[in-house]
Amino acid sequence: MEKQQFYYDNKIVRKFLFATLFWGVIGMVVGLWLAYLFLFPTMSNEIPWLSFGRLRPLHTNAVIFAFVGNAIFAGVYYSLQRLLKARMFSDFLSNFNFWGWQLIILAAAITLPLGYTTSKEYAELEWPIDIMIALVWVAFGVNMIGTLLRRRQRHIYVAIWFYLATFVTVAVLHIFNNLELPVTMFKSYSVYAGVQDALVQWWYGHNAVAFFLTTPFLGLMYYFVPKAANRPVYSYRLSIIHFWSLIFIYIWAGPHHLLYTALPEWAQNLGVVFSVMLVAPSWGGMINGLLTLRGAWDTVRESPTLKFMVVAITGYGMATFEGPMLSLKNVNAIAHFTDWIIAHVHVGALAWNGFLAFGMIYYIVPKMWKTNLYSMRLANFHFWIGTLGIVFYALPLYVAGFTQASLWKQFNPDGTLTYGNFLETVTQIMPMYALRAVGGTLYLIGVLAGVYNVIKTLQTAPKLEDELAQAPALSTISSGRLQGETLHTWLERKPVQMTIWATVAILIGGIVQIVPTIFVKSNIPTISSVKPYTPLELEGRDLYIREGCVSCHSQMIRPFRSEVERYGEFAKAGEFVYDRPFLWGSKRTGPDLLRLGGKYSDNWHFNHMYDPTSTSPGSIMPAYPWLTRDKHDRSNIEAKMRGLAKLGVPYTEEDIVNAHKSMEEQAQKIEKNLYNDPDFVKQYEASKSRAEKEGKEFVPMKDREIVALIAYLQRLGTDIKIKTANAE
């Protein structure tokens, strides 16, 4: 049969490889900055865009979507062409994918530090960027499916099954989680509220981990591990079971992030059941990967690529055993809101994603540039110091998590909390935070060594050219099953049908969980005393979101004796019906705030935001002095209220028209309360005199951002009086 000649597009792979390394360093440097902020919280006091709350989502987005995302595209574009014996369907779409993705990352790097955020985990970017993501992701999918349709290889290899599932599932997750109503150019409100928003968010959030950080990397594992070891995959049958069971079960597991919350019990239990079931397919994939290397351990010892991949697969096995374990209610009661979760997440990120990405890079660079790696010793150094970094990062945080859970739940013989002051539980774990910073530093040193190794390799390598290849054209064949052909073998030569069935598999779980919660009102009982936020409180809530306070403070009291004693009555589903987005949080670096309203004076809140150590000696919370001096822009309040009214919040036209008057009145009351502190009066009058002498504009206290934030904080938890609450 006559063979056709064609060229693999190596240049697009090169672009994504360089972007992977560049954004990887950026994302990890930001992460390290955040780790040191725990130790030196005053480092960012005067610079809003360097504060923890604003940079934390930048770190997660940079690592997940910039570093890992570019690594996914690099690996897919490299492997897909070679597995299908075809150049990518469209060079234009390939480049649109690359430049569009970099533009999205750049937009995130600008908007998140400026405080433009939805605050929804792994989905913080505002609506214009969400639209860009959807367009670029569709371009990637069209390019991939177009390449499948013009392939010269009849059967679709297992790696491509995972690529297809990744494309369709991430598209569905992104679109449905980010359904939002824009009210300004960079502000939107989720169409879901409270409990519904939490369920949809963690349906997305858990499966962003599943279908962005796991399934594409499993596809890369199935391609690069056999290639690097020069051995076939251990078991074809196991790969079939692994793929279909994983994508079907994974999509159900999101509610395990919301155990003991106000989420309906049936949804929580469903999440637990499917999370436990996940052990089987996850470990099936790990076993398939590791046993591919059976008899090749001498090669592993000599190959940095395989060493990285072995630790990566082991990290995947650890994380996917720990995840189902954490979904058990008795374990979750201990681990949730603690640093145990941070350790768990970073075992997956640093070992599974990070090490597999670098193993892939060490394989691709010599192959594609047709040269030898600059330094095997440097690659091995990267491996060992990176491994040491993972250990020093994760182990101290496990200890911190266990310590937190233990201290939070301890009682004295008289029934009072042993550690009634939350800050006491923070100071106990500071040594672990220091070790975490050391671990992060070691890991980053390894990454920099790897980047240097790649740069030196390319300095002496031949110029990269598109690679000439040849293969016979794929002849037409009956669409039906051939004699002796299994159903799955038939499916492997039908990419459209496989994509459709993969979509069906992932939609079932989402429909069963989400539809009843959103459309069956009885699942979310209302409470008549719960009212919408006043205009000033709404603005204060948006400031709270802007500053990323939800990164460290939860607003969800679980029905445990220790939490009720510490924070107040446990949370009810009906309390959150006007919360868009929900702010239940994932981590308690500080105490829960659900019942904060009325607990402290307005002066306390002012001083706490200006200098947290003035009210809480030893606090590691950063200061927010700009809130106490900056004028608050309230010009968009009507647009915000009209948008929320369209979403069902009962704001009347009169409420909207009188919004500024309402804000003025409430702000004046808070300003008056602040005058109760003689020190405040002295400093306020002094600053006023100084501004007049210097001819500068003086912003009255009632017009400053801190006043709106105080209004919101003082509202929290005050809508319901537990003894007299009228549940409808």
Annotated binding residues for Cu cation: 206, 256-257
User: Alpha-carbon distance 188 to 549, whole Å?
Assistant: 18
Task: Tell me the C-alpha distance between 409 and 353, whole Å.
Answer: 34
Taking alpha carbons only, the member of 340, 233, 219, 214 closest to residue 282 is: 214
SS3 (DSSP) at 348: helix
Distances (CA, A) of 588 to 69, 107, 401, 585: 28, 29, 11, 8
Answer for the pair 98, 149: CB distance below 8 angstroms, yes or no: no
The secondary structure of 103-149 as a DSSP string is HHHHHHHHHTTTT-----TT--S-HHHHHHHHHHHHHHHHHHHHHHH
Q: Is the dihedral of CA 281, 282, 285, 291 positive or negative?
A: negative
Q: Are 708 and 667 in contact (CB under 8 A)?
A: yes
Cα 622 to Cα 51: distance, rounded to the nearest angstrom:
7
> Burial level of 65, CB count in 10 A (0-12/13-18/19+)?
buried
Q: Which of 332, 340, 291 is nearest to 314 (CA)?
A: 291
Fill in the DSSP letter of residue 524.
S
The encoded tokens of residue 81 equal 């062409």
Annotated binding site, which residues? 59, 206, 256-257, 344, 346
Residue-level length of the chain? 728
Residue of 174, 9, 216, 6 whose CA lies nearest to 94 = 9
* Pick from 434, 403, 408: nearest CA to 422: 408
Half-sphere exposure of 591 (CA within 13 A, CB side): 22
For residue 578, the 8-state DSSP code is T
Residue (of 519, 439, 441, 453) closest to 200 by Cα position: 519
* Residues making up the binding site for heme b: 59, 344, 346
d(CA 466, CA 474): 22
Strand 187-190 with 467-472, pairing: unpaired
Question: Structure tokens of 53?
Answer: 């709350």
CB atoms near residue 366 (< 10 Å): 15
Range list of β-strands (E), 36-114: none
Q: How far is CA 675 from CA 350, 539, 626, 701, in A?
A: 50, 22, 20, 10
Q: How many angstroms separate the CA atoms of 499 and 7, rounded? A: 27
Tokens of 403: 């310590």
How many Cα atoms within 13 Å fall on the side-chain side of residue 708?
29
Q: Which of 69, 53, 112 is nearest to 552 (CA)?
A: 53
Whether the bond between 678 and the residue before it is cis, its omega within 30 degrees of 0, is no
DSSP state of 462: P
Tokens of 719: 């809508």
The two structure tokens encoding residue 187: 């502000």
Nearest to 196 by CA among 581, 528, 727: 581
What is residue 275's three-state secondary structure?
Answer: helix
Helix H or strand E segment including 3: strand 3-8
CB 162 within 8 A of CB 215: yes
Ranges of H-type helices in 465-583: 487-491, 495-519, 535-546, 561-567
Q: Could you please report the per-residue DSSP string of 657-674?
A: HTHHHHHHHHHHHHHHHH
